[in-house]
Amino acid sequence: MFSLRSILGFAALFLLGQLVAAQSTSLASIPTSQLTQIFNFGTNPNNVGMFVYKPAKVATKPALIVASHFCTGSAQQYFAGSKFASLAETHGYLLLFPSSPHPGTCWDVSSDATLKHNGGSDSLGIVSAVRFAIANWGVDPNRVFAVGTSSGAMMTNVLAGAYPDVFKAGIVDSGVPFDCFPTTGQAVDTFPSQCAQGQLILTGQQWAQRVFNAFPGFTGQRPKIQIWHGTADTTLFPPNFFEQIKQWTTVFGLPSTPISNTSEPFLPNGYSNATFGPQFQAILAQGVGHTVPLFEQQYLQFLGIA
């Protein structure tokens, strides 16, 4: 018979083995071309779910794209409903699809913790996975990007604003400015609200200050941003587009009026592409509601991948 002591000893060894196995999620051990959940990638206060997609052929020093889903969505849904993974097969980058742990699956884009550099909550959980990928998978730290739709767009602004040292660019599809929702003690987006309805109107300086407060000591280059929004959006009303323009142009020190604003041959009729500088573009989609469809190929161009 086994003694209690030896059972406990086996249990301890087993747990240690699990821990070592989990902590050594090497790039080679990740199955190719399927969405795979990873664990134990670092500090993750809210237990954000984390899924990786590794294409058959990974580029040397691959780029990494964090793709954040909308409310009611999941990592699986955003993966299945986008071309990010199939384009990874062409371009050899890695993908992280985080999954929200909250009821309703919105992201925490409003707590003090999520809005502060290394402050905690969902944003830190996501960043921990990115740091893990850089440390263990050979990801090029100069090509770490964030994209997201709706609540995931808000999270993309949070990541760009609070972790400008980690992310080099962000694509914001149908979101709101950084730090737009009130901190009501709820960890997630709240609807309806002044912010969602486009009634929170601030100056560029006020909006920019919210970004600066996220990481007061930061003096490095900030991630470039491309925002997309529909004029018929009745979930996150269109003033959110123009408030984001005020915020990011002020953060970048760019003029608040575009240097060019044109239609593009590869975008549908009614889409205008306003460029304010190399770091900031704002695409407005006439007559489009919530959300603007994904234009993955254009995103990759902005990110310098394709």
Ligand X SMILES: *[C@@H]1O[C@H](CO)[C@@H](O)[C@H](O)[C@H]1NC(C)=O
Which residues lie near ligand X (CB under 6 A)?
Answer: 245, 258, 260-261, 264, 267, 272-275, 281-284, 298, 301
Burial call 47-86: b when 16+ CB within 10 Å, e when fewer: ebbbbbbbbeebbeebbbbbbbbbbebbbeebbeebebbe
Structural tokens at position 253: 């020190």
Angle at 269 between CA 265 and CA 275, to 5 degrees: 60
Out of 111, 121, 123, 150, pick the active-site residue: 150
Closest to ligand X by CB, 53 vs 302, is 302
Distance CA 223, CA 249 (A): 12
Residue 277: CB minimum distance to ligand X, A: 10
- Region label for 277, one of left (φ > 0), alpha (ψ between -120 and 50) or beta (otherwise): left
Helices (H) and strands (E) in the chain, counts: 8, 10
- Annotated active-site residue 150? The verdict is yes
Q: State how far Cα 201 lies from the chain centre.
A: 24
Residue 281: CB minimum distance to ligand X, A: 5
Catalytic annotation, residues = 150
